[in-house]
Each structure stands twice: as structure tokens, then as C-alpha cells.
């Protein structure tokens, strides 16, 4: 192997040759992280304002989470659900009491939790609602992102999912943000409506005010389950514990993931009340790693930090003025700045040629972020970010968006 080039170049060459090209990452190779800052293999520092799509809400190497993780690693890590472990009960108790549901079903990744919610709705439809076998229908939204499994991509309208058919039947897609479209699509076989309160991957799309309230009313009226995917929008990101809290709406089925794992491991969960979650019997569903003691210890620590450190309030306090500041950027490239708390999108005009090149320019300025959809620069830093860090970032973002214009 050649010894020429930077450490970064050597890593990039290996990664490009030896790993599947299912991602097109920015050409940075991170070696260490602390708080909102990361350092690459050549010693260059960057401000991380993506936070692994909200999975690193507590910051890199959060000392409280790291300690809980290390203690549990040295105690007990995995038993499978063939046995119980002493972290599982306390985890179930904490998460159900924080979010106000009777029961929880723990999984690992977000997509698994979404699959779990879909299974919950179908079984509820057959056992409780009395729908004929194999007839259950679930309604989803345009522009949705709920993960990458075959069933989950079966109700995606993103063209990238086309080459993976045949798709799982039983799903309908209606316009996001339009409650009438939802109501029109409901049939006697409908069991549930799956919705992101704010679409993250879809381009930081905030539905019209009152949308979630109307969705809640329609779901109740037609006796179908409102299932909220809060994997990205939940756990403080938008300035409330859940994005649904902005309208005081309580979904029947709540899906959590990403930040629940404290940035150290995949932990996801589905919450619902007994009439709904009670449909599961032994053998119906499971996961070797779901509910493992390490995950439960980390998730309890993450949830306690979220509440004790008032991170939702923080997200609102530092996020709201930052959104206002971003709106002052005068550039013909910017179509709209929108956001809630620390989930922020800068939508560029199509003539700007796509958000990705601007993320590359930001990288050269020492800021790491990622486009969401083609034309939106997503800003979603760890919730522990300080106003000083954001003040450092602002002129750099402004420069990249105004340079040459
Ligand atoms: C990231 C995400 C998922 C999928 O989570 P994975 O852990 O990547 O499987 C599902 N729904 C939403 C809204 C997400 O942002």
C-alpha cells in the first residue's frame, strides 16, 4: 500500500473499495468526539450539527451516559428475553411513566420499532376491531421516512425504493399535512395511520398548525390507531418531550428510537395502552437484543438526563433565536428557513444546485451537517449545544450561503 496522502485519504480509499456504496458520506473520517465537537484522523476539528440524525442528542461521549454504559458492561450485557434481567423492569417503569402509556415493547433500531407498531396495529385490527383475516389496511403519508426494511419501504414514495419489489401489500399513501385526504382514504378495513409529526428525512417538513389535532380527531372518530413515529422528532429535539406535545396530542401508539440509545447503541421502543399492546401473546414477536440490560441501563440514563437537564426546554431556548438569526441571512440561494427547537431546515432554491455541495463547503469551514432531501440543509446539533457554539457556526453558514452572490 502507498504511504502517500493523508490519513483521511487512506481511510477513504479502503472504505470506497471494501464497503458497499449504499451511502455517499462527506469525505471526513472521524476518530474522536466530545460534546458537539469531533476530530478527524488528521487532527482537524469540526462542529457536529447533525448529531447522527438526532441519535447523539446528549452529545458525543456524554460522561453520564458513558459511565452508565461502562458500569453495565462490567455487570451484565445480554440475557435474551428467555430470562428477565434486573434493568428491564425499571426501564419499562420509567419510560411508560414519562410518556404516560401502560406498556412498552423494546426493540433496537428504528425500523424494527416501526415494524413492531405495524404488527401491533394489524393484530389489534383482527383481535379487537374484528377485521377479516389479511384485510387490514394502514395509511401512511407522502414523503414519509420510517426506515429501510422491505415492508417499511413498501409504503415509501421515494423513487430510490423502486428496485426492491415485490412490495408488502396493505398500505395506502395520502398527502402529508392534509387531514381530509386521510379521512377520505379510511375504509372499514383501516386499522391505523402512521405519521411523523415533523418529517425529518422528508426535508424538515412541518405540517400546518392543527394538523395533528385533526388527525387525532379523525382517528378517534373512525376507530383507527394514530401511530406517531417520533424516532427523529421526539426526545426533546423540537423543544418539547415529543413533537406531538406542541398540539397536546396523544397518539395511540408512540414509536421512539435514535436518542433513546444515548448515542452509544441502538435502542428503540413502542408504547401503547393495555387495550392495544395487550394483543401480543408469547411467541408473536420478539428480538434477541430487544430489552437487553445494557440497552435498558443506557436508555434509563438517557431518559433521566433528558428530564433532569431540561433538554427540551434548552432546545427551544437556544434553537428559537438561532432560527430567527438564520432567517436574517440575505441570499438569493435561500428559499426558506424553518424549524422547531433544534430541528432546523434551510431550504435552497432549485437553481442553487442541491444542498449537498453546501454541506461540503460547510465541512471545509469546520461544520458537519447533511442535506435532507435534495435541497434542504438540515441543522440538528446535539441538544447540549451552547449559544457560543451556534454563534461560532453562524458566520460560517452565512459565508457559505452568500459567497459569490
Ligand atoms: C431514522 C428514522 C427511522 C429509522 O431508524 P433506524 O434506526 O435507522 O432503523 C424511522 N423513522 C424516522 C422518522 C427516522 O428518522
Domain boundaries, the chain: 7-61+311-402, 76-308
Candidates 56, 141, 146: which one to mutate for ligand 1, based on the most atoms within 8 Å of Cβ?
A: 146
Whether the per-residue pLDDT at 296 is higher than 90: the answer is yes
Pick the atom of ligand 1 nearest to 112's CA: 9
Tell the residue nearest (CA) to atom 11 of ligand 1: 146
The answer to whether the beta carbons of residues 298 and 76 sit under 8 Å apart is no
Ligand 1 pocket check for 147: Cβ under 6 Å:
yes
Ligand 1 pocket check for 110: Cβ under 6 Å:
yes
Ligand 1 pocket check for 372: Cβ under 6 Å:
no
Q: What percent of the chain has pLDDT over 90?
A: 98
Say how many C-beta atoms besides its own lie within 10 A of residue 102's C-beta: 13
Whether the per-residue pLDDT at 369 is higher than 80: the answer is yes
Ligand 1 pocket check for 199: Cβ under 6 Å:
no
Amino acid 5: pLDDT:
78
Region 279-303: mean pLDDT is 97
Pick the atom of ligand 1 nearest to 201's CA: 15
CA 33 from centre of chain: 20
The answer to whether the beta carbons of residues 134 and 168 sit under 8 Å apart is no
Candidates 50, 108, 110, 156: which one to mutate for ligand 1, based on the most atoms within 8 Å of Cβ?
A: 110
Region 341-355: mean pLDDT is 97
Q: Whole-angstrom distance between the N-terminal and C-terminal Cα of the chain?
A: 44
The answer to whether the beta carbons of residues 146 and 194 sit under 8 Å apart is yes
Tell the residue nearest (CA) to atom 10 of ligand 1: 146
Q: What are phi and psi of 334, to 5 degrees?
A: -90, 125
Region 273-281: mean pLDDT is 98
Amino acid 1: pLDDT:
45
Ligand 1 pocket check for 109: Cβ under 6 Å:
yes
Amino acid 257: pLDDT:
98
Task: Tell me the CATH number of domain 76-308, given options 3.40.50.300, 3.40.50.620, 3.40.640.10, 3.40.190.10.
Answer: 3.40.640.10
Whether the per-residue pLDDT at 373 is higher than 60: the answer is yes
Cell of 217: 380527531
The answer to whether the beta carbons of residues 243 and 259 sit under 8 Å apart is no
Amino acid 405: pLDDT:
77
Place of cell 421526539: 234
Cell of 405: 452572490
Amino acid 32: pLDDT:
98
**pLDDT single digits (tens) 220-264:** 999 999 999 999 999 999 999 999 999 999 999 999 999 999 999
Amino acid 4: pLDDT:
62
Region 24-34: mean pLDDT is 97
The answer to whether the beta carbons of residues 265 and 255 sit under 8 Å apart is no
Region 159-180: mean pLDDT is 97
> What is the CA(86)–ligand 1 centre distance, in A?
28
**pLDDT single digits (tens) 31-83:** 999 999 999 999 999 999 999 999 999 999 999 999 999 999 999 999 999 99
Amino acid 157: pLDDT:
96
CA proximity to 274, closest of 128, 130, 137:
128
> What is the CA(257)–ligand 1 centre distance, in A?
7
Pick the atom of ligand 1 nearest to 232's CA: 15
Region 337-349: mean pLDDT is 98
Catalytic residue set:
145, 229, 258
Whether the per-residue pLDDT at 2 is higher than 70: the answer is no
Sequence length of the chain is: 405
Ligand 1 pocket check for 197: Cβ under 6 Å:
no
Pick the atom of ligand 1 nearest to 200's CA: 15
Ligand 1 pocket check for 146: Cβ under 6 Å:
yes
Residue 3's pLDDT band (cuts 50, 70, 90): low
> Between the CA of residue 219 and those of 62, 195, 225, 255, what are the distances in Å?
39, 12, 6, 17
Whether the per-residue pLDDT at 349 is higher than 60: the answer is yes
> Between the CA of residue 203 and those of 42, 116, 198, 375, 380, what are the distances in Å?
32, 25, 9, 8, 12
pTM confidence score? 0.98
- How far, in Å, CA of 243 to CA of 38, rounded? 28
> What is the CA(10)–ligand 1 centre distance, in A?
31
When comparing pLDDT for 65 and 3, which is higher?
65
Cell of 321: 433565536
Amino acid 323: pLDDT:
98
Region 98-108: mean pLDDT is 98
Q: What percent of the chain has pLDDT over 70?
A: 99
> What is the CA(210)–ligand 1 centre distance, in A?
24
CA proximity to 193, closest of 97, 207, 397, 201:
207
- How far, in Å, CA of 122 to CA of 133, rounded? 10
CA 231 from centre of chain: 4
Q: Which CATH class is domain 7-61+311-402?
A: alpha beta
- How far, in Å, CA of 233 to CA of 235, rounded? 7
Candidates 106, 111, 234: which one to mutate for ligand 1, based on the most atoms within 8 Å of Cβ?
A: 111
- How far, in Å, CA of 282 to CA of 285, rounded? 7
Amino acid at each position: 500500500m502507498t504511504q502517500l496522502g493523508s490519513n483521511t485519504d487512506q481511510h477513504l480509499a479502503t472504505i470506497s473499495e471494501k464497503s458497499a456504496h449504499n451511502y455517499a458520506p462527506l469525505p471526513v473520517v472521524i476518530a474522536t468526539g466530545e460534546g458537539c465537537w469531533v476530530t478527524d484522523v488528521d487532527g482537524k476539528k469540526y462542529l457536529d450539527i447533525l448529531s447522527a440524525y438526532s441519535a447523539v442528542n446528549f452529545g458525543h461521549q456524554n460522561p453520564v451516559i458513558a459511565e452508565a454504559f461502562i458500569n453495565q458492561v462490567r455487570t451484565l450485557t445480554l440475557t435474551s428475553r428467555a430470562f428477565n434481567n434486573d434493568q428491564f423492569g425499571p426501564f419499562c417503569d420509567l419510560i411508560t411513566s414519562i410518556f404516560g402509556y401502560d406498556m412498552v415493547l423494546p426493540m433496537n433500531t428504528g425500523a424494527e420499532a416501526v415494524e413492531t407498531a405495524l404488527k401491533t396495529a394489524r393484530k389489534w385490527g383482527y383481535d379487537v376491531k374484528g377485521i377479516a383475516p389479511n384485510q387490514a389496511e394502514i395509511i401512511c403519508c407522502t414523503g414519509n421516512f420510517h426506515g429501510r426494511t422491505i415492508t417499511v419501504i413498501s409504503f415509501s414514495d421515494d423513487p430510490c425504493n423502486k428496485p426492491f419489489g415485490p412490495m408488502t401489500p396493505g398500505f395506502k399513501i395520502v398527502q402529508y399535512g392534509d387531514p381530509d385526504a386521510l379521512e377520505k382514504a379510511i375504509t372499514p378495513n383501516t386499522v391505523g395511520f402512521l405519521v411523523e409529526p415533523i418529517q425529518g428525512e422528508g426535508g424538515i417538513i412541518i405540517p400546518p398548525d392543527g394538523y395533528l389535532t385533526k388527525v387525532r380527531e379523525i382517528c378517534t372518530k373512525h376507530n383507527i390507531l394514530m401511530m406517531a413515529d417520533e424516532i427523529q422528532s421526539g426526545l426533546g429535539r423540537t423543544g418539547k418531550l415529543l413533537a406531538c406535545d406542541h398540539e397536546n396530542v396523544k397518539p395511540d401508539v408512540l414509536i421512539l428510537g435514535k436518542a433513546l440509545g444515548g448515542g452509544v447503541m441502538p435502542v428503540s421502543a413502542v408504547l401503547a395502552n393495555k387495550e392495544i399492546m395487550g394483543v401480543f401473546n408469547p411467541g408473536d414477536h420478539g428480538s434477541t437484543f430487544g430489552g437487553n440490560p445494557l440497552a435498558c441501563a443506557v436508555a434509563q440514563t438517557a431518559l433521566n438526563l433528558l428530564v433532569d437537564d431540561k433538554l427540551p426546554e434548552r432546545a427551544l431556548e437556544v434553537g428559537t433565536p438561532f432560527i430567527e438569526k438564520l432567517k436574517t441571512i440575505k441570499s438569493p440561494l435561500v428559499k426558506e428557513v424553518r424549524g422547531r427547537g433544534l430541528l432546523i431546515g434551510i431550504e435552497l432554491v432549485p437553481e442553487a444546485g442541491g444542498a449537498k455541495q453546501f454541506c461540503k463547503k460547510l465541512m471545509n469551514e469546520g461544520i458537519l451537517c447533511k442535506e435532507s432531501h435534495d435541497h434542504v440543509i438540515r441543522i440538528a446539533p446535539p441538544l447540549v449545544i451552547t449559544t457560543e457554539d451556534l454563534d461560532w457556526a453562524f458566520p460560517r453558514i452565512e459565508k457559505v450561503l452568500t459567497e459569490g452572490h
